[in-house]
């Protein structure tokens, strides 16, 4: 059950506290491995608490007082005043990761640049005519800025996204998932986990229609079985992503002139395995029932 805007619960749900412990463990492991300490995390959390309370728990758009935010968040009023007066942090540039994803999406989603099964065609680095499909025409089609295709290719070669073969550019992967490049990986880490948590939180709050959020999990498996299932997950996952990408690209082009084309989607697939026991079986996550699936 969701609480009214601006009304904090008296006691946090015990299940929510348990879930928070569980999802924070891998995050804290990542933070410690990159020297992001608890005091720094606490400063970030304070800032985010104030920002969310201010933007999402206001009544009728009215500006919340420091006292009201204190009641919602438990943060001291002096800290709230200081945080509200601070200049917002400037978002770090993520253009290379975003542009790379757009290019790969167009490469896989367009019949001009891919085969009928959605696999990417090898593209000539340079074409004789703009009407011919090539890496240079793909870059010119997707990029709004004047960016040379060779600049992008050099970066992709560095990241392991593509390779050159007989003067053709060959895509090494079915998505922009560079083998190297920490900033690019971190861009998608934050983007995808944010949206997955947002979808689950929306479902827990009773949002309708619910976001699709399902998983299949099994335990008591041998290493050989895990290897086989991982390969199957990759095969089926890429099939779903390729099909949805092609349809989404077509819909985006069709919607380009519509005034209400202001929405975004994020559809993702993940696979994880580790030693340990759990509860074997299929999960219907975040409140969806089998009847919700179509």
Distance CA 104, CA 114 (A): 11
Residue 60 belongs to some domain of the structure? yes
Distance CA 64, CA 229 (A): 51
Q: What is the mean pLDDT of the chain?
A: 85
Lowest model confidence (mean pLDDT) among 37-41, 66-70, 108-112, 209-213: 108-112
Distance CA 130, CA 141 (A): 10
Q: What is the pLDDT of residue 198?
A: 94
Same domain, 104 and 152: yes
Distance CA 261, CA 253 (A): 10
Provide the 3-class DSSP secondary structure of residue 215: strand
Provide the 3-class DSSP secondary structure of residue 163: strand
The H or E element containing residue 227 is helix 223-254
The H or E element containing residue 29 is helix 14-33
Q: What is the pLDDT of residue 289?
A: 37
- Identify the residue whose tokens are 């005034």: 259
User: Taking CA 245 as the corner, what is the angle to CA 185 and CA 187, rounded to the nearest 5 degrees?
Assistant: 15
Looking at 60, 90, 120, the residue that finishes a domain is 90
Residue 178 belongs to some domain of the structure? no
Residue 97 near residue 180 (C-beta atoms within 8 A): no
Distance CA 47, CA 133 (A): 48
Residue 151 pLDDT more than 80?
A: yes
pLDDT digit string, tens, across residues 259-281 = 999 999 999 999 999 997 655 56
Q: What is the pLDDT of residue 287?
A: 44
Provide the 3-class DSSP secondary structure of residue 222: coil
Residue 260 belongs to some domain of the structure? no
Residue 139 pLDDT more than 50?
A: yes
Structural domain range at position 65: 1-90
Looking at 118, 146, 171, the residue that finishes a domain is 171
Count of the separate structural domains present in the chain: 2
Instruction: Extract the tokens encoding 216.
Output: 């299949």
Question: Which phi and psi angles does 66 have, rounded to 5°?
Answer: -60, -35
Strand partners, 170: 163
Q: What is the pLDDT of residue 147?
A: 81
Q: What is the pLDDT of residue 73?
A: 95
Q: How confident is the model at residue 10 (pLDDT cuts 50, 70, 90)?
A: low
Looking at 119, 152, 171, the residue that finishes a domain is 171
Distance CA 174, CA 192 (A): 17
Higher pLDDT, 183 or 123: 123
Higher pLDDT, 222 or 290: 222
pLDDT digit string, tens, across residues 235-253 = 999 889 989 999 999 999 9
- Give the pTM: 0.78
Same domain, 71 and 45: yes
């Amino acid at each position: 059950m969701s609480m009214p805007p601006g009304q904090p619960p008296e006691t946090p749900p015990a299940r929510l506290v348990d879930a928070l412990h569980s999802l924070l463990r891998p995050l804290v492991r990542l933070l410690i491995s990159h020297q992001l300490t608890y005091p720094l995390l606490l400063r970030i959390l304070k800032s985010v608490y104030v920002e969310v309370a201010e933007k999402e728990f206001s009544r009728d758009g009215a500006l919340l007082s420091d006292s009201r935010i204190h009641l919602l968040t438990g943060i001291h009023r002096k800290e709230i005043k200081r945080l509200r007066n601070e200049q917002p942090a400037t978002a770090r540039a993520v253009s290379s990761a975003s542009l790379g994803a757009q290019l790969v999406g167009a490469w896989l989603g367009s019949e001009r640049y891919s085969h009928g099964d959605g696999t990417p065609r090898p593209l000539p680095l340079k074409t004789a005519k703009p009407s011919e499909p090539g890496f240079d025409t793909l870059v010119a089609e997707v990029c709004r800025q004047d960016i040379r295709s060779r600049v992008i290719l050099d970066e992709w070669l560095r990241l392991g996204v593509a390779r050159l073969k007989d003067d053709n550019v060959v895509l090494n992967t079915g998505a922009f998932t560079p083998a190297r490049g920490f900033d690019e990986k971190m861009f998608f880490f934050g983007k995808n986990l944010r949206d997955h948590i947002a979808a689950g939180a929306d479902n827990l709050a009773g949002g309708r229609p619910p976001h699709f959020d399902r998983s299949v999990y099994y335990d008591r498996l041998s290493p050989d079985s895990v290897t086989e299932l991982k390969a199957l997950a990759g095969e089926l996952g890429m099939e779903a992503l390729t099909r949805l990408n092609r349809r989404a690209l077509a819909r985006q082009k069709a919607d380009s002139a519509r005034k209400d084309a202001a929405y975004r989607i994020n559809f993702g697939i993940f696979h994880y395995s580790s030693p340990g026991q759990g509860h074997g079986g299929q999960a219907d996550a975040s409140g969806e029932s089998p009847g919700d699936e179509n």
